[in-house]
Amino acid sequence: MLERKICYLQIAFNVPMKHVERLLPRIPRDKRILIEAGTPFIKRYGVRGIRRIAELWQGYVVADIKIVDGAKEEVEMCASAGANAVTAMGNAPTEALDIFVETCERLGVDSMVDMMHVERPLKVLRPMRKPPTVAVLHRGRDEERTRGKVIQYKHVTKIKSKYDILVSAAGGVDLKEAQSAAFNGADIVVVNVIPKGSPWTGITPDQDIATLAQQFLKTIE
Q: What is the CA 206 to chain-centroid distance, rounded?
A: 23
Full domain range(s) for residue 173: 8-220
In a domain, 92, yes or no: yes
In a domain, 135, yes or no: yes
pLDDT at 145: 74
> Rounded to a whole number, what is the distance in angstroms from the first to the last CA of the chain?
19
In a domain, 1, yes or no: no
State the CATH number of the domain containing residue 60: 3.20.20.70
Q: How many domains does the chain have?
A: 1
pLDDT at 62: 98
pTM: 0.96
Low-confidence ranges of the chain (pLDDT < 50): none
Pairwise CA distance, residues 108 & 133, whole Å: 11
pLDDT at 143: 82
pLDDT at 180: 97
In a domain, 97, yes or no: yes
In a domain, 77, yes or no: yes
pLDDT at 76: 98
pLDDT at 176: 96
142 to 9, 56, 136, 139, 181: CA distances (angstroms): 22, 29, 17, 8, 20
Pairwise CA distance, residues 212 & 221, whole Å: 14
